[in-house]
Structure 1
Amino acid sequence: MERQFKTFSIVAAGAIFIGLPVLFYTMGDVPRRSAFKEALSVLTILAFMLMLGQFYLARSNVTLLALFKPQVIQRVHKYIAYTAIGFFLLHPFLIVLPRYFEAGVKPIDALITLLTTFDNLGVVLGLIAWGLMLVLGATAMFRMRMIKRFSIKYRNWRYFHGALTVGFVGVALWHSIELGRHTDMTLSALMIALAAAGVALLLRLYRDAIPLCTLKSVPTLKGAK
């Protein structure tokens, strides 16, 4: 029975975070471009969906913890997160990459224009999200060094990591809706719903943990009953 639940959870996750986005992409009423550009669009959508999936590979998802060992969940969380972050670090370059195969503006000129366009809300949001993601990836990769160097409790680092993740996802989601070519109403609604549910799980975990920490630090008055 436990094995069936594990299989069901994996299939359900694949259907929600991969199957539905691909389905909505194919059903979207958007003029198609070259196969290379469309492939980059699909990869970008899936990479972002996998980033949203990180909310559900955390300690806040008690259902998943009941099915899989924490070490396994953490390993999958790291692999997916680092892969998605690596892809998005290349995102600005992948946007202009197809211009190598087209006539017109040179890729480097297009990239410079992209990175210096501050009068476009979608572009500015993308630059902010890219910066937040860079900090998120670096602090996650070097978390043990940071904890030792600044004498930070691991629990407090988790709070920082969670807050930074929420900030990044919020800005990146806004950016994708503002500029995304394939993020129509249906796909946007799916992203917002998954992000909201994931943030709710995280906030519930922190809400349950913070009062316990606070109570432990309250001194007991002598003579109190």
Structure 2
Amino acid sequence: MMLNLPNRPWLDELSSSFAMIGFNIVLIEFWLSGRVKSLSRILGVDWVLQVHQLFARTALVFLLLHPFMYTLPSQPIWMTSSSHQDFLGLTLTSGLTGMLSLFALICLVGLAIMRKSSDLSYEAWRLSHVILAIIIAGVGFFHTIDAGRYAQEDWMKSYWQFMLGLALVSLAWTYIVKPLVQNKNAHEVTSIKQVSLKIWELVIKHSKEKKINYQGGQFAWLKIGSSSPMPENPFSISSYSRQDSSEISFLIKDVGDFTHQISQLQVGQKIFIDAPYGNFGAEALSVEHDQLVMIAGGVGIAPMISVLRQIERDQDPKVLAKKILLIYGNRVAEQAVNLKEMIHLESFRNLEVVQLVSEPSKDWQGLTGVLDATTLEKILNTHQINVKSAQFMICGPAEMIDSVEISLDQFGAPLGNIDSEKFQYDFGKKNPKNKRSVISTLLGTAALLAAAIYGALH
């Protein structure tokens, strides 16, 4: 749509384009937080969260450049027209709101990047993330409407109102509507027992026997005691969806405040669940690949058990006929759950289990060491795995996943055959998935930059 506005220097136009692109990304980011079930199921939560994190940095770059590119001066106090060709439409109020919104965005991105290395708890970080996001959206909207040259047009003002509305709807859905719905759909603990060193099996069921349909490998958000928006944490489901029961089980490692609370639960206590999310393991349930390699570290065995249980339930002869290799690593043998108690191993025609311990006891007779390239290659060769055609599933500590992905890339495994889920991303690690994500983001950013330059020149 052509606007009847006075001409400005092209750098000023480019600055406005940067601001509009950056703020659009910010508002779209509300829907890329991993809490939209359809997105996480179709695209995978790993992809959604990586896009969310990387494009937040793109938005920050555009918005940081925006105020420093203007060549026109701010308008005098006595002048109120924001479209005057010789001045910017910037007042004291709009200037302060712009700086506040930008400062909040810097804090949000910085805290996200530093979360793993900081002492901030997950719950505190998540609360700060939500508060900062609200400040960025609300104050940034005011700055856009007050100072934006094109936002003075009624249609553009309506557009920004619509985009802000969508962002706030996503927040309201996650932190108001869903907790209210969950309060009417409470689950209760039917069993809580320790199944290995620091790992507990939690079994819950809907208080009214209402069933949740899910696929093996998906995960859920859990809350204890109250359906209030926070705190809640994601955990992989270890059971399979059943028509005759509403029970859902999880394997949870006692490593922090929230997980310790779970280990202290009593039968009959209320627990609230938001599920299912993700599509981890979807390829494992297909018949496209005749070899499936599952690589689990510690409690990362939970979604593997879920997938195997579903394969056993479905009794698809083609899937059951697959050669399945489960590589299960732990620090000490006592941390490993008893797979024979979790899965009917005899139901599978070609299932092989390899257990690996990095700190073995004197009586340990299995493989020892860490899952580095040498050990992984030896295991795959011993079990006659065709690396270039097999499907791989990886779950466990982020460092282990990075290491395995790098090794598989070196062995020639196609990236499309590697399915992993870790929720935490260190884009400084040069594993193949990180490279793909960063390159895709750079290409997307370059396309946005080209569009901004083209718009400024025309």
TM class, shorter-chain normalised? Answer: 0.5 to 0.7
Q: Report if aligned partners of 1:60, 1:204 keep a CA contact under 8 Å in 2.
A: no
Name the structure with the higher strand share.
2
- Per the TM alignment, residue 32 of structure 1 is displaced from its structure 2 partner at its CA by 2.5
Q: Report if aligned partners of 1:32, 1:38 keep a CA contact under 8 Å in 2.
A: no
Give the structure 1 partner of residue 10 of structure 2.
Answer: 35
Matched, 1:175 2:186: no
Give the structure 1 partner of residue 163 of structure 2.
Answer: 194
Selected match of 2:36 from 50, 61, 79? 61
Matched, 1:215 2:226: yes
Give the structure 2 partner of residue 127 of structure 1.
Answer: 99
User: 1:32-59, CA deviations, whole angstroms, 9 ceiling, x for partnerless residues?
Assistant: 3233332332222112111111011112
Aligned pairs, number: 174
Matched, 1:94 2:74: no
Question: How far apart, in 2, do the equivalents of 1:203 and 1:185 lie?
Answer: 26
- Per the TM alignment, residue 137 of structure 1 is displaced from its structure 2 partner at its CA by 1.8
* Matching residue's letter, 1:215: S
Q: Report if aligned partners of 1:60, 1:202 keep a CA contact under 8 Å in 2.
A: no
Question: How far apart, in 2, do the equivalents of 1:65 and 1:51 lie?
Answer: 19
Q: Report if aligned partners of 2:11, 2:70 keep a CA contact under 8 Å in 1.
A: no
Determine which structure has greater relative contact order: mean sequence separation of CA pairs < 8 Å that are 6+ residues apart, divided by chain length.
Answer: 1
Describe the SS at the equivalent of 2:5. coil
Gapped runs of 5+ residues in structure 1?
1-25, 100-113
Selected match of 1:46 from 5, 21, 33? 21
Question: How far apart, in 1, do the equivalents of 2:25 and 2:163 lie?
Answer: 11
Selected match of 2:172 from 203, 206, 223? 203
CA-atom RMSD in angstroms:
2.9
Describe the SS at the equivalent of 1:165. helix
- Per the TM alignment, residue 79 of structure 1 is displaced from its structure 2 partner at its CA by 1.8
Q: Report if aligned partners of 2:137, 2:164 keep a CA contact under 8 Å in 1.
A: yes
Alignment of 1:6-45 (within 5 A): 26-45=1-20
User: 1:133-189, CA deviations, whole angstroms, 9 ceiling, x for partnerless residues?
Assistant: 22112111111123xx14x1x244223212211111110110011011111221221
* Matching residue's letter, 1:157: W
User: 1:86-111, CA deviations, whole angstroms, 9 ceiling, x for partnerless residues?
Assistant: 22123221224x78xxxxxxxxxxxx
Question: How far apart, in 2, do the equivalents of 1:180 and 1:32 lie?
Answer: 15
Alignment of 1:64-143 (within 5 A): 64-96=39-71, 120-143=92-115
Q: Report if aligned partners of 2:26, 2:56 keep a CA contact under 8 Å in 1.
A: yes
Q: Report if aligned partners of 2:97, 2:142 keep a CA contact under 8 Å in 1.
A: yes
**So what's the TM-score if we normalise by structure 2?**
0.35
Q: Report if aligned partners of 1:89, 1:134 keep a CA contact under 8 Å in 2.
A: no
CA, structure 1 residues 200+214, in 2 after alignment: closer, same or farther (shift >3 Å)?
A: farther
Q: Report if aligned partners of 2:27, 2:137 keep a CA contact under 8 Å in 1.
A: yes
Name the structure with the higher helix share.
1
* Matching residue's letter, 1:143: R
Question: How far apart, in 1, do the equivalents of 2:175 and 2:31 lie?
Answer: 15
Larger Rg: 2
Describe the SS at the equivalent of 1:215. coil
Question: How far apart, in 2, do the equivalents of 1:59 and 1:202 lie?
Answer: 12
Q: Report if aligned partners of 1:57, 1:74 keep a CA contact under 8 Å in 2.
A: yes
Q: Report if aligned partners of 2:21, 2:62 keep a CA contact under 8 Å in 1.
A: no
**So what's the TM-score if we normalise by structure 1?**
0.67
* Matching residue's letter, 2:127: Y
* Matching residue's letter, 2:173: R
Q: Report if aligned partners of 2:16, 2:66 keep a CA contact under 8 Å in 1.
A: no
Give the structure 2 partner of residue 107 of structure 1.
Answer: none
* Matching residue's letter, 1:202: L
Question: How far apart, in 1, do the equivalents of 2:67 and 2:15 lie?
Answer: 12
Sequence identity of aligned pairs in percent?
23
CA, structure 1 residues 29+67, in 2 after alignment: closer, same or farther (shift >3 Å)?
A: farther
Q: Report if aligned partners of 1:50, 1:84 keep a CA contact under 8 Å in 2.
A: yes
Question: How far apart, in 2, do the equivalents of 1:83 and 1:73 lie?
Answer: 15
